[in-house]
Amino acid sequence: MTSLSERDLNVIIKAYDVRGTYPDQLDEDLAHAVGTAFVEVLGVRASEGGAGAVVVGHDMRPSGPSLVSSFAQGVREAGCDVIEIGLASTDGLYFASGSLNLPGAMFTASHNPAQYNGIKLCRAGAAPVGQDSGLREISELISRGIVKAETFPLGSVSARDVLPEYARYLRELVPVEAGRQLTVVVDAGNGMGGFTVPAVLGTAAGLPALPLTIIPMYFELDGSFPNHEANPIEPANLVDLQSAVIEHKADLGLAFDGDADRCFVIDHNGDAVTPSAITALIATRELARHPGSNVIHNLITSRTVPEVVAENGGIAIRTRVGHSFIKETMAHTNAVFGGEHSGHFYFRDFWRADSGMLAALHCIAALGETQPGITFASLMAPFNRYAASGEINTRVENQAAVIAAITAQYAEHDLDELDGLTVSADTWWFNVRASNTEPLLRLNVEARDTVQMRRLRDTVLELMQAPVISAPYGIAPQLWAVLACPCDSHGPLVGAPESATPELECTVCNARFPVRDGIPVMMLK
């Protein structure tokens, strides 16, 4: 096993969390180090004005308890107490962090396969910890060996069951009134939905029964995922649920990911409902309770979302993809709600954290408030206005050069670089973003109808898959992609290899331009 300082922590400590395969990337030693560094970076010790304790939970992955124990020991050795809540969904950990006003750590790999585990960290009040808000410093401290100048009294460890409080709180936020009796199929994917659904939607936490008949699928907690991966964003993982909804003539179906912080919805026809449409639905409900409020949506949600927000008297605010950006923007704008096309939904009344269960309650309550005979598909019809491609990943070695080529191709359209490149027109838009961890470009396309969407999708994919010519003389690929001679012809440029010094030559007018430190000097004589 390599030492902590020798590991490529940039691979394990990602933009929003710690995540890797167990035990070769993420093991007990690293968990212990993260615990200690977490205390140091966030200033958790009570003697230094901090909260003095960290709340910790884990999902159903077999490695969870051992990793929690090591993390907790690191926290305790750094002079802080640990409150262990045991098995929990990620939004259950956020509830504990928010209600107890303590920083927290959730051990989960979310939707990733069985061999993975990870750690999601938050400050007191469920405030996010990402690369720009602590993770980078944690990584640097671990790389340096976490040298402590003094020894601290060993912190205590205690256990607390927050599930009943969590269930009660969610029920209070989104009441499901005694309306229509609904049949709901729930696919927990052997993840933490099998732990939280009986408490929130059932009576396992001692709460009154709701007007629901729950048909459970794969509620057994099993981190080996024997039925299918707990990743409902992949259509193959929804097939069982779709069949069950039709078989049972259910009103709707719910699918949770591994840590149950995301929820995907299936209508009575067995068709998947887009998270953008769910975002629009919840926005109308939150705006009815809080008129005129701000609502956050990321830039790859459907145009339907800002349209619906405006139609309901709210103010739509567009942000980058990623929960830390949405949570930060919600804090700055006091937004009542935020939604992402990935199935994350954020609520001001839930410490601006994401909760798949709250989204599920909103869908159930909205349908339950309608007259008998109204289907979820008909309820959602006003929120399905455009045709979308879904996210398409393409392996691209030179991401910057490809984006530069697309920029050049669509230079006459509305362009913005809030997150990657977004190109917009009256009846369509698309976004291309680079993956933070893989040589991938992610494409999302939306248009007024399927024909236009497919045409645009195929055109952009052709550009993304075209070979990119390498730039000469150290010129940046993104600059080379748009470079042309400043003469009237704007002719293409080529390297002049016979020249004693780096030069570019115009293939039309034969003008030559020196290149100095990778920068062309583009002046006509």
Tokens of 372: 């008998």
How far is the C-alpha of 424 from the C-alpha of 319, rounded, in Å?
Answer: 16
Q: Tokens 């609520």 appear where?
A: 347
264 burial (CB, 10 Å; 0-12 / 13-18 / 19+) is: buried
Helix (H, G, I), strand (E, B) or coil at 126: helix
* Distance, CA of 365 to CA of 184 (rounded, Å): 12
CB 88 within 8 A of CB 162: yes
> How many Cα atoms within 13 Å fall on the side-chain side of residue 72?
22
110 is catalytic: yes
Orientation angle between helical segments 356-368 and 193-200, nearest 10 degrees? 40
Q: Which residues contact 294 (CB under 8 A, 6 or more apart)?
A: 314, 315, 316, 317, 333, 334, 335, 336
**Active-site option among 63, 89, 110, 293:** 110
> Which pairs count as long-range contacts for 266-272, CB under 8 Å and 24+ apart, including other chains?
266/185, 266/238, 266/241, 266/242, 267/375, 267/376, 267/377, 267/380, 268/375, 268/376, 268/377, 269/375, 269/377, 270/242, 270/243, 270/245, 270/246, 271/242, 271/377, 272/235, 272/238, 272/242
Instruction: Give the neighbor-by-neighbor strand order of the sheet with 315-319.
Output: 315-319, 294-298, 337-339, 345-347, 353-354
Cis peptide before 497 (omega within 30 of 0): no
Cβ-proximal residues to 494 (8 Å cutoff; 6+ apart), any chain: 472, 504, 505, 507
Query: d(Cα 231, Cα 307) in Å, to the nearest integer?
Result: 29
Catalytic residues: 110
